[in-house]
Each structure stands twice: as C-alpha cells, then as structure tokens.
Structure 1
C-alpha cells in the first residue's frame, strides 16, 4: 500500500460496526528530503473529523499504538514531506488487547526514563511517577522525542522549554538568596526614539527575576560611572525574566569571564516572538563575518563606559573585546536572554566598520559580500609556502581527469606539488593518464600496492611530500574558482589555525559540505547539505567564514608539521570513515582552531570512485569505525561548540530540539 503525499485509507478491522479499542499501526516511510508530519485522521459518530500526529523514527519506522473510539469511520493516513513526494508503506493495522497495548507502551517509555537525566525528564514533563499514574501521557511525550520530524513550530517549543513557571520563580528566588556576590549590572537604554518602545523595555526590566539593588538603568549616551557589568539595550527590546539569573549562574561557572553573550529572538509588530538565533560558543572568525552576537552581549567594565549606539558601533565593540580578551574569558549562555524588535534588527555597515576600527590585523582588508556578510581578506606572505596536494585514486579516470586538469589549469597558486597515490589501478586508460600527467605536468604518481585504507594512503603521501602545507583532496573534486587555495592558505597562516576546509558543491550546484557538525546526526554530518548555492542558511552561516569542530578531508588544508606531530589520520581504528573528523578533533584538542571558508569552492561528487558500503565486511567495518568514534569522543559528541544545544541533535539541520540539552540554573 503506497502513498505519495495524499490521504491513504485504512481498512477498519471491525467494519461496519466499529468497536472502541487499541490499534497498532506498523509501516515504513521513505522521503527524499526532510519530511513533514505523519497524521492519522478519522471521523467519529457525530461526523466530526479528528487528527493525531504519529511519530516516525529517523530510519523511517512507524510503529504506533492509537486508541480509537466507538463508531470511527473513514480512517486514513497522510505522510507529507517538505515539497517532495514521499512513500508510505503500511505493513500492519490491527486491533491489540489492552494487555498488549500496556506492555508495548511500557516497553517504549521505560528506556527513556533510564536514558534521560532527571533534569531533562523534568523539562519534558516526564515526572518520575508518570509511567505509573498516566502511562498514555508518558507514551505521548516520549513519542515527541522519538519523532524524527524537524521541529519548526517555535511557539510550541517556547511553551515547553522557555516559559518560567510560578513554581520556578520561587526556586529562582531561593537560588539567588543562596548565591553570594551577585554581579551588579548597568542597563544602558539606547536608540530611544519612541515612548511606547521605551516603556516596553522598562517594563521588562522591572519584571526581571533579579534584585533591584543590583541593577542600574541609564538612559543617557553620556559616559558616566556605572556598575560592574554593562549591557546596551535598544529601546523596544524585551529582556527575558531570567536573563540576569543566567548571568549570575554563568559567572559562578566561569568567574574570570570578561564578556558574556546569550541567544536572542525577534519580536514582530504585534509582539509575537519568532526567528530564534541560537548561537555557537565563542567563534571569532564568525564575528569577523557578521555581528552574530547582535545586542545580546554584556561586558565587564567600570568607570566611564563607552556604550555602542548603533549597528557599526555594536559590532566594533565586540571586535574590540575580542582583541582585548583571551577565548577563555568569553562565555556563551545557551538561553534566550533578549527579544529584539525586527524593526531594530542590526544592519551591518562594513565600510563604516573598516574606517573606524584600528584593530584590524596587519594586512587585513575588509569588503562586503552577499547577504550582508563581511569578507576579511587575510594577507599572504611575500614568499608563499609550498602546498602538496594529495589525491588518492584507484582507476576512476572519469573523475580523476577533471580533478587534475582543474588543479593544473585553474588553480592560481604558484608553488604547488601534486601527488597522486595510485591504489592498485588496473584500468589501461587510467594508467596511461597517470603516465601522461607525470610527463606533462610533473605530477608525482606514487604506487600504493595494498588493500584500500584511506588513512594509510594519505599518511604515506604526506611522508613523501615536500610541501610545508598539505591539502588532502578527493579524486572526485573539481576546482571552481582560481583563488580557492590562496583563500585557504591565508586562513591557515593565521595564528592558531590548524585546519581549513572549503565549501563543496554537488554537480547540480547544491551545497554538499559547509563544514561538519560533531554530535548532531549521531556522530558527524555535513552542515547545510542540499542548500541552494545562493541561500544564506541558518543565521547566514552557510555563507560566513567561521570556526567549526571539523571539516571533510575531501578538501582539507593543514600544516605538514602538525599532521606529522599528531600521527596523521588513524590507520588502525578509522581506515575509511571519520578519519578526517577524528583528525580535526585531535587538532582542536591540541589547542588549534578549525576554520571553514565559503570562498574556497569546489565540486565534490562524493565517494563516486569508491562507492557505498554494501558487503557484510564493509558494513561491519563501518560499524566498528562508528563505535570507535562514539567511545573515543563520547564527551565531545554530546556538545559541539559550533552547534547550539537548543537545536536538534538528531540531524544537523538547525531545527529546534525536541529535548534541549540545557540545564536550567535554578534546578541544580
């Protein structure tokens, strides 16, 4: 039984005299893109229609118990996807006994009680006794977590995870009474041009769950002595009631912090909240690209305070603080601290910024880019370091040829060494081409006569390379712009940068790779995959240079000395998959930064030469690699600094989490 986004009728087991009871629906759902809701619909005795959302797992499994009342008629299912047809196959629709329904519901609910922390169960409404007192409610709450459908209904998310309940207000008051040395905060109202907007902001300040004795409100742009912590608030913005509770809590975690920022969302003209900006942890390169912090930042400063009054001043202020403070002195609170009117949204003015900012590193120039992004052009030294490009291949001439030809003919970088690692090629045309590029272009072809091991192949090549810098490159890539390597080298030569990745595209022009998230998706997965080339992505991050946890080795630039010091890719535990992610994590662990830039662009046809894992041996190897990553990086997989914990960790698509991994300070 198939469905392509239309209502699919279900045959009623007891038709025509339908009796009330529990029913089990089992099936599978296949969608080519992100799917929408899967709904059960029926008509009751009075002729009214009812609908119920059914959870479907990440693997597309539908297995749900539903209670249907007496007299149900015209029962049907609808599976939808976001603009693309999907297939729903129903394997079973049958009545089950009350005993079996209870057993099946317990079997689903109980593992979640064991797996989720007490805090997370509380935020989800899964009280410790609920599985005994109201099993059906517990079953429905667990179903929301189990459902792999992206959560985009922001008002539902706010109701579940953002509202401070009356009981929690009492907890906050008790918590603040126990804490000593609460920070004194000076709130500076800026851009006060509308009396109603001013009053909204003042009302939100009066409603703060924070002692008034530790607050000062300033409504003048004239510098004056103020409190310990400063916050510029544009008139019309609304502060979250617990915003300063979060600040006090953060300072207990990081007492040396000098600058703290939080998340924010927007207010429409009717005061409705929308468009949450769930930010990464401190990300200097992203701040270069855009003012991702907005107005939602507090800094420690006493005496006469220079408070930003507009967009350019605000961005400049954050860049000044970034210049003054070490990364360990900057903290991010993963909570919505401020709601900003969409009419007062910051518009970056980079010409003004460049004119007023004397803190630019030597040789850096700024220029505007699409979507209001600022492109920082980092300088290159007068004598460029040699780059050794490593390309493993086994036959695959149809892809190897355009890869090598684009490197030779389109890459402008002058000091380039190309090493092709030949892993047992036996195709005559490929062998002839390898001989040709050796003669014609001076490509070094090195035979690697061993079973396929991506890590070992690259490690062997790096040992042979003469370049100061190493570019790992897949044989199914093609250069798109001549300056791609200059862009990557310029970032890699920045202080503290250990790896640089590129923006990769499918052959049809859609984004294939915009950096990797580590944790979301189960282990590691590409950000913004499938996005159109001209789309900015979540909070313009698909078009902003930024720091990430990892990038793909389909095109990865690193220092040869660093690569050798860290023993390169893991040949033993990760011969095929995740070796690039593991390398990036080890680079980060050693104190280096990983940068992704959208201005180095290549096509990537993604593993076309090696193919997919299909044999039992390949599947076993892939599972072993995944298990190793989950064990080696268990803690790291729980939180990616470049991916907010309020966002879904089921998939790296920046959708809202069904179960945010954020602990409220007043529940500790």
Structure 2
C-alpha cells in the first residue's frame, strides 16, 4: 500500500471515534495444514501491525509464546484458549465464546491480514449495519513472500455458494448473528466421521448458515484484497481426516460425501429450493441437480435471415434434446435464399412432431428487438426462449436444466455458458462497465480454467445474459414490455431487457452445466460492418448510457476489472 494512503488510514483510526470499538481476531489452526514457526509468527504480526488499534487477539495456548516475542502495541489485548488439534470448527467455537467484540474475525494460522484489513472491515460495518457478516477478496503468497493470483469476489451470490466457497478471504462475523446459530448442532457437532474439520469448511459453513438468518440483509462484500493466504511452503496432513474405526454402509457414504454435503443440503432446503447436489469429481465443489419433473410448454423464438445450414443445425439440436413440450417460432427477416424456404417447408411438414410457426417479415432495416416481439405474439408457452440461428445445443438436457433453474423463486432470466468450437468461452455472463458500457467477461478463456470463484464452471448470478440464448417466463417478458425496439433495435437490447427484469426484483442466472456452442455473428456479421450499423451502434450506446449510466460504474456480480487491476498493479510497484 502507498505510504500516503497508509498514513491517512492511520490518522482516521487514531482520531475517529467510530474506529475505536474492539474487533476480536480469532487465530484458528487448520488440522490439515502444518505452517512453520516463521509463518505462525507472521500471522500474529499481521494482527499486531494493523492500522486499526483496538483489537482483542484470541490465539491458541500452544502459540501464545510467539506473541511474547513481539512488542504488543497499546490497545491490543491478548487472550488464549485451548485448541482442538483435530477440528478447526471446535477450536473456533471455543475461542469465539471468549470474544467480547461485536465483530469477530477468524484467521487461519499461517495466513495473514493486510495491514488495513480491520480498518476496511470496520468501515464496511459502519456503512452496512444489517449485514450478518462481511467478506473480503483474497490473494495468495508463495514461500518467498511474493503475492500472486488475486481473487476478487462478486457481491453475495446465493446459488454460487451452494457449489463453492465464494466468500473465501477475510470474514467479519457479527457476534449477535453467530450467537443465534450456536445452539444449532448441525454446524459444529458431527460424530467422529463427519466433523467439519478444515478451516475452509468452517468458513464456508459459517457463511452459509449466517446468510439464511432473515433478520439481517445480504452479506456484505468488501472489495479489497484484505486476506493473504499462504499456499506454498505449508505442508499438508491428511491423516486427521481418516476414520479411526470401521464404518457401516450409511456412515461410509456420509464420510465419502463429507460434512459439507449435508450442510449445503440444509442450506438449499432453508431457501425453499427444489434443488439437490452431488459432489464434483474434482472434490472441490458441488454440482446442482435441478428437478426433472417440471415440464411446461417452451416456445422458442428464432430470428433468421438466410443461413439455411446454420438454422438447420440449430433446429436439429433442439429436436435432438430430451424436451418434447415445445413450440418453435421462426421469424424470417426477408430471406432471399431459396434453400431457406425449402427448409421452412420441410420444418412445417413435421408439425405432427412439434408445433412450428414461420413468420415472414419485410423490415426495411434490421431490428432484432422487433423480430423477438413479433415472435412473442405467436407464443403459447408458459416459458419463452430467444435463440440465435447460430446456436447449437450439444447437451440433450439443455432445456431441462435451464427450465429447472427458471422455476426457482425470484428467477427472471436464465442464460447459459456459450462456447466456441475450440471449447473456449464466448459468453458466461454480461458485466456492466466492460468497454464503457457492457460486455462479455472471460471471453476466450478455456471452459475448464478456474478463475473468479470458478464461475466458468458453476451456476451463478449475473447482471445480464446474451439474447443468443435466453429463457424466461412469458409473463415476465410481458411485464417489462418485451424488447425495446425503438431505443435498441440492434445492440444492448438483451442487456436492457435483463436490467429491466432486475428492477422487478428478479434475478439473472447463468447455467454452466449444459454444453452449448455459439457460432457468433455468422449471418448478421459485425455491427461495424457497414455505415448504417455503425451509426446505429453509436446511437444505441448513447441511449444505453442515458438509461443505465448509474449502473455502469460497478457491476455487482463481476469483479471490478479496471479499478482493482490498477490498484493491484500499483500496490505491487510500491
């Protein structure tokens, strides 16, 4: 951190009465990690060296001697507790019961807090009095103390949290909220085969349980790299996780699933969701399983102009899915290729297999929004899909999966991850502020690359999804007036639609489970390809900025790219 910023924070902590309340930091040993004495000492020094002056440091008795090596600043009170060497959760339960402060921060032995971490936590707590807990971003540190791999989280994402810990970093827990769950044994008390053992599972469990206390608002994200995780140079022990007795079949299955499986299951149940989970083969995350009993009529609207090969490919992929309660509506935009009309005739001849409609238009200029709205007039399904003619549904259960998500409470729009043919990402959500307005994120990254809370592989929330493949309830489409064909005939119409749906209190979800290809822009081409389209793009940019300019500063569901990256680079150079 630049020295000038550090001095400013120090002055605030010294003179502002709001920053004099005690914060309790609880040092917890992870039974699956074995940090060196030097790493343990650095953990304690990261607390003793905080800009924030009023701290209660609660540490294991076994490591209290390390604190005596350093001068303890005025305002920091030391308390020790008997650590359980086999369970991070039991250790934290014991230590947190000793805490006097309203804010409690668990810290794994071997990791560190950034020098301004507690100041930023307190500032967030002052700004948000109703959050049950706070979570920061995290950065890794190697054995040479070089920082690498910063991870910026999104705002609270309840569905992502059912698959992976998307709050990994510094946690600031409200003692009142924590006290309310102490009596609920499922969090802390399992038999010897099912204990919440690791520090990672402890923090994940706490985040899940605290988030379901509806007397509070959503958890609050602190957009700052406040937690430094030591990954290299810590030896790992696995013997503490092995059962110490023979298990029967039920116990063996529970042991293989792990305690987090039951905790996540109860988390999903508390939200009233018709979802189940199974552990992913990589052992680090869980996969959502939607209900397969939901089978409403789906009407798929496909705007098309020529490109009979692409359209035939898209239609074949729809008809090859497992879903049968379908209506297909093709809105033709003045096609001239005779092969296109032969394809329409062939499709109409299959009306006995699937309900098909073809709407022919003679629009003087391309207006995607108008084509979608025209298709809506023929829709008779409870759910409606917008689909480009250059999209191919590879997974046969694509429609089942996204319809299952769409049936969840508060879901407004469901999109999917879209891939190029080389399995790199074309779309996994739209973020506001990219390229000044809005754009795809993680574009060009391989589908299996782990980044940004693994959102390329997990179902997650987003501000918007591309109209190349969207699913929503038909009444939601009607409630917002459909696509805006006056302001956004070509560009931003899908993003604008999602944002207007969001203003109804509904959410946009991105389903990464199905494999879907998008042969982007094959028939329409690039928006800048001719004079009219370029001018239209410029006009729509202005209209989008005028309508949504206040939201373009920061996207809640994708880490702030420019500001955080510049801050990271600045800190690395200072």
Give the C-alpha shift of residue 351 in structure 1: 3.9
CA contact (8 A) 2:19 2:52 kept: no
Q: Does 1:426 align with 2:426?
A: no
- Out of 450, 454, 474, the position equivalent to 2:363 is 450
Q: CA offset at residue 427 of structure 1?
A: 2.0
Q: Mark the CA change 1:177 to 1:596 in structure 2 (over 3 Å): closer, same or farther.
A: same
Instruction: Write the mapping of 1:153-232 to structure 2, written as runs, cut at 5 A.
Output: 163-165=1-3, 168-169=6-7, 171-180=9-18, 182-191=20-29, 194=35, 195-212=37-54, 214-219=55-60, 220=83, 221=91, 222-223=93-94, 224-226=97-99, 227-232=101-106
Structure 2 residue 259 is matched with structure 1 residue 352 = yes
- State the secondary structure of the residue aligned to 2:380: coil
- 2:134 and 2:172 in contact (8 A); partners too: yes
Corresponding residue for 2:493? 579
Paired residue for 1:635?
Answer: 550
Q: How does 1:293-442 map to 2 (within 5 A)?
A: 293-302=167-176, 310=198, 311-325=200-214, 328-343=217-232, 351-357=258-264, 358-361=266-269, 363-369=274-280, 372-380=284-292, 382-408=293-319, 410-440=320-350, 441-442=354-355
Deviation at 1:531, TM superposition (A): 2.0
What corresponds to 1:479 in structure 2?
393
- Asked if 1:553 is matched to 2:464, the reply is no
Provide the rounded CA distance (Å) in 2 between the counterparts of 1:537 and 1:173: 36
Aligned equivalents of 2:287, 2:507: Cα separation in 1: 19
Q: Which whole-Å CA distance do the structure 2 matches of 1:286 and 1:577 have between them?
A: 29
- Give a deviation string over 1:291-322, Cα, whole Å, max 9, x none: 12124212112486678751223222211122
- 1:326-383 deviations in Å (ceiling 9; x for gaps): 7843111111111011156999996431134433325422123365332121324x45
Paired residue for 2:150?
Answer: 276
> Which of residues 154, 164, 171 is equivalent to 1:290?
164
Unaligned stretches of 5+ residues in structure 2: 61-82, 84-90, 189-195, 242-255
Whole-angstrom CA distance in 2 between matches of 1:609 and 1:417: 23
C-alpha distance in 1 between matches for 2:417 and 2:8: 49
Summarize the alignment of residues 13-28 of structure 1 with structure 2, pairs less than 5 Å apart.
none
Superposed CA RMSD in Å reads 2.7
Over alpha carbons, which structure has the higher Rg?
Answer: 1
Distance 2:565 2:148 in 1: 16
Aligned equivalent of 1:461: 375
**Secondary structure of the residue that 1:443 maps to in structure 2?**
strand
- Per the TM alignment, residue 489 of structure 1 is displaced from its structure 2 partner at its CA by 1.0
Cα shift at 1:253:
1.5
1:171-200 deviations in Å (ceiling 9; x for gaps): 533355223375432222112655433322
Q: Tell me by how many angstroms 1:228 deviates.
A: 1.2
Q: Distance in 1 between matches of 2:507 and 2:215?
A: 14
Q: Secondary structure at the match of 1:641?
A: coil
Does the CA contact (< 8 Å) of 2:395 and 2:514 recur in 1?
Answer: yes
Instruction: Assess, with a 3 A threshold, how the Cα gap between structure 1 residues 207 and 177 changes in structure 2: closer, same or farther.
Output: same
Q: TM-score, normalised by structure 1?
A: 0.69
Deviation at 1:538, TM superposition (A): 4.1
Aligned-pair CA distance for 1:526: 1.3
Q: Deviations over 1:391-443 (max 9, x none)?
A: 011121011111111111x2112311111112222322211211111111431
Aligned equivalents of 1:326 and 1:524: distance in 2?
Answer: 34
Cα 1:578/1:426, change in 2 over 3 Å: same
Aligned ranges 1:535-546 → 2 under 5 Å: 535-546=449-460
Count of aligned pairs: 490
Q: Find the partner of 1:237 among 104, 111, 115.
A: 111
1:107 maps to: none
> What is the CA–CA distance in structure 1 between the aligned matches of 2:4 and 2:426, rounded to whole Å?
46
Structure 2 residue aligned with 1:136: none
Give the whole-Å Cα distance in 2 for the aligned partners of 1:184 and 1:644: 30
Tell me which of the two structures has the higher relative contact order, counting C-alpha pairs closer than 8 angstroms and 6 or more residues apart. 2
CA distance in 1: counterparts of 2:422 and 2:277, whole angstroms? 31
Give the direction of change, closer, same or farther, for the CA distance of 1:507–1:208 in structure 2 (3 Å limit): same
Q: Which runs of 5+ in 1 are unaligned?
A: 1-162, 650-655, 663-668
SS in 1 for 2:455: helix
The residue matched to 1:334 in structure 2 has which SS?
A: strand
- Deviation by residue 1:48-78 (Cα, 9 ceiling, x = unmatched): xxxxxxxxxxxxxxxxxxxxxxxxxxxxxxx
Aligned to 1:524: 438
1:267 aligns with 2:267: no
Q: Indicate the residue corresponding to 1:91 in structure 2.
A: none
Residue pair 1:295, 1:314 contacting (<8 A) in 2 also = no
With structure 2 as the length reference, what TM-score do the two structures score? 0.79
Deviations 1:531-558 (A, max 9, x none): 2233334442211211111110100111
Q: Is the 8 A contact 1:549 1:641 kept in 2?
A: yes
Deviation track 1:426-483 (CA, whole Å, cap 9, x = no partner) reads: 3222112111111114311122332321101111211320111111000111111001
Cα distance in 1 between the residues matched to 2:447 and 2:434: 23
1:122-146 C-alpha deviation (Å, 9 max, x unpaired) = xxxxxxxxxxxxxxxxxxxxxxxxx
Does the C-alpha gap of structure 1 residues 661 and 533 become closer, same or farther in structure 2, counting only changes over 3 Å? closer
Q: Tell me if the contact between 2:23 and 2:56 (Cα under 8 Å) persists in the aligned partners.
A: yes
Contact 1:312 1:350 in 2 (8 A): no
Distance in 1 between the 2:14 and 2:384 partners? Answer: 53
Would you say the 8 A contact 2:12–2:19 is kept in 1?
no
